[in-house]
Amino acid sequence: MRFTGYQAEGFYDESFQENGLPRPHNRLMVETIQSLPEGQLVRSKVAAERMMLNMGITFNVYGDSAGAERIFPFDLVPRIVAAEEWTWIERGLKQRIHALNEFIDDIYHDQKILKDGVVPRDVIESAVFFRPQCQGLNPPRRVWCHITGTDLVRDGSGRFFVLEDNLRVPSGVSYVLENREVLKRTFPQLFEGLAIRPVLDYPSRLLETLESVAPAGVDQPRAVVLTPGVYNSAYFEHSFLALQMGLQLVEGRDLTVSDGYVYMRTTRGLKRVDVIYRRVDDDFLDPLVFRPDSLLGVPGIMDAYRAGHVNLANAPGNGVADDKVVYAFVPAMIRYYEGEDAILPNVPTYLCVKDDDRKYVLENLEKLVVKAANESGGYGMLVGPASTKDQREQFAARIQASPRTYIAQPTLALSRVPTLIDDHFEGRHVDLRPYVLYGKDIYVLPGGLTRVALRKGSLVVNSSQGGGSKDTWVLAQTPAPREPAGGGQQ
């Protein structure tokens, strides 16, 4: 299968240079794909899709009872990140997550950063996901964000930026592991030829992280995975991670609180639980503390948590740092807590709550991407260049009515990666979500979920909006430079 006719169309292409030759770290991949027999790649894709359906690697589509499950679309062409790029990303993520954890701990204790005027107090107090109920809590090791899925993007020059921090219940890591399994079967020769850093030890790392943050004095902690249940869109991932870690997958109704401890109901009575990797949102965790109508949670679990009898990963309250207005202050936080400049830059962000910024945003809506500060999944968003006049007017009205709710960013010309479309390759925009674990120390999974906007020209990569995924290969070392293909001998 050939890349003949493949065009970068003026975008930063991660696999090909402007002169049409593969980038050095992509050369072997491109050559291998070109050498496949005609039709082979399409056949591999069909076979992989059938396998995924049979394995039930699906997500649920809400409100669709007949064919309620679909596979998450994926593309077989890998996205490759060079070794030196990754070294820098990894350093940047460690720095950022460390600072964010300091920030959350500070916000729920002394609030020094507010007192010192680095972050305005009203920004925090008006954040939808700020949880006053978490004031004064002391999670083991002072770690709040055990699992983070930071979204990174590259702009037209290929430079990486942080798009958002996901510190609540980031999902998608199961697709990283499944995509890797599929690609190992599809391109075994590439895994022999390239030093691709493994990702399949993620479940072991996660288990280690969970056990490392057990309540004080518990020698052999029992950890469990808490899921909202089989109808949750990410249920496959919850069961997959539980199975891979050898942990019990529990629902809220399996747990009960007695004398300040959390127990699960077993065939031999109640058994104590020490660490809960919860995939249930804060709001639904404990009907006594958060939403009283929640049936997914466990009444009294927050009391047990407050008493230090159980640990929750991630900690409740983290959402305060997911707010997109708070996001704009992360570089300042890094300077404040770490005494360093941020290694990974933020995307420039206009805060509509500031008069000057709002004026600029309203005058330049057709150039900007406007986002709601507390939405995710690609909802509540205006992509200026692709918008109609009506949509812009609606957003202008919303921004004026509720400036705190909106931020705006320049429309980035997101980088592209070749993607199999029907029977040929076309460039599609991508982002990257690496996963970061924080227990005894900070670990960054080498790779992560590459999400790809499968619709032509689309910049929105979310699965709910027509996005798919790709395997992400982080190289342990950059291959030695060679003559261009066909031009010499090894």
Interacting positions 200-239 with other proteins (CB under 8 A): 225, 229-230, 235, 239
* CA distances for 363 relative to 105, 474, 477, angstroms: 38, 41, 47
- Judged by CB under 8 A, which stretch of 144-152, 167-175, 245-253, 456-464 contacts other proteins? 245-253
The distance of closest approach from Cβ of residue 242 to other proteins in the complex, given in angstroms and rounded to an integer, is 4
Q: Are 39 and 47 in contact (CB under 8 A)?
A: no
Rounded Cα–Cα distance for residues 416 and 430 (Å):
6
Exactly one of 81, 93, 100, 247 binds other proteins (CB under 8 A); that residue is 247
Cβ-in-10-Å burial (0-12, 13-18, 19+) of 168 comes to buried
Nearer to other proteins, 29 or 302 (CB): 302
The distance of closest approach from Cβ of residue 299 to other proteins in the complex, given in angstroms and rounded to an integer, is 11
Nearer to other proteins, 196 or 242 (CB): 242
Task: Output the CA angle 89-25-32, nearest 5 degrees.
Answer: 135
Positive/negative CA dihedral, 155, 420, 71, 380: positive
Residues facing 440 on adjacent strands:
none
- Judged by CB under 8 A, which stretch of 73-81, 258-266, 335-343, 381-389 contacts other proteins? 258-266
- Per DSSP, the three-state class of 302 is helix
Nearer to other proteins, 178 or 431 (CB): 178
The distance of closest approach from Cβ of residue 50 to other proteins in the complex, given in angstroms and rounded to an integer, is 10
Residues facing 409 on adjacent strands:
369
456 binds other proteins, rule: CB under 8 A: no
Total residues in contact with other proteins, by rule CB under 8 A = 33
240 binds other proteins, rule: CB under 8 A: yes
The distance of closest approach from Cβ of residue 42 to other proteins in the complex, given in angstroms and rounded to an integer, is 22
Nearer to other proteins, 276 or 382 (CB): 276
261 binds other proteins, rule: CB under 8 A: yes
Exactly one of 32, 111, 233, 256 binds other proteins (CB under 8 A); that residue is 256
**Residue 378 phi/psi, 5° resolution?**
80, 10
The distance of closest approach from Cβ of residue 256 to other proteins in the complex, given in angstroms and rounded to an integer, is 5
266 binds other proteins, rule: CB under 8 A: yes
The distance of closest approach from Cβ of residue 191 to other proteins in the complex, given in angstroms and rounded to an integer, is 22
* Long-range contacts from 197-201, C-beta under 8 angstroms, 24+ separation: 197/86, 197/446, 197/447, 197/473, 197/474, 197/475, 197/476, 198/446, 199/445, 199/446, 199/447
332 binds other proteins, rule: CB under 8 A: no
Exactly one of 37, 269, 339, 481 binds other proteins (CB under 8 A); that residue is 269
Nearer to other proteins, 229 or 331 (CB): 229
249 binds other proteins, rule: CB under 8 A: yes
The distance of closest approach from Cβ of residue 261 to other proteins in the complex, given in angstroms and rounded to an integer, is 7
372 binds other proteins, rule: CB under 8 A: no
Q: Which amino acid would we find at residue 223?
A: A
343 binds other proteins, rule: CB under 8 A: no
* CA distances for 352 relative to 113, 118, 358, 372, angstroms: 22, 18, 4, 10
The 8-class DSSP code of residue 367 comes to: G
How many Å separate Cα 67 from the centre of its chain?
27
Interacting positions 33-92 with other proteins (CB under 8 A): 53-56
* CA distances for 471 relative to 152, 236, 432, angstroms: 15, 18, 10
Nearer to other proteins, 256 or 391 (CB): 256
Q: Are 237 and 173 in contact (CB under 8 A)?
A: yes
263 binds other proteins, rule: CB under 8 A: yes
Task: Output the CA angle 380-450-77, nearest 5 degrees.
Answer: 130
The distance of closest approach from Cβ of residue 297 to other proteins in the complex, given in angstroms and rounded to an integer, is 16
Task: Output the CA angle 442-444-449, nearest 5 degrees.
Answer: 145
Nearer to other proteins, 195 or 243 (CB): 243
Torsion of Cα atoms, 159 then 164 then 165 then 167, to 10°: -150
| CA atoms within a 13 Å half-sphere pointing along the CA-CB vector of 10 | 2
Nearer to other proteins, 31 or 251 (CB): 251
Binding flags for other proteins, 270-289, as an x/- string (CB under 8 A): xxx-----------------
Query: Which residues are at the interface with other proteins (CB under 8 A)?
Result: 53-56, 225, 229-230, 235, 239-240, 242-243, 246-251, 253-254, 256, 258, 261, 263-272
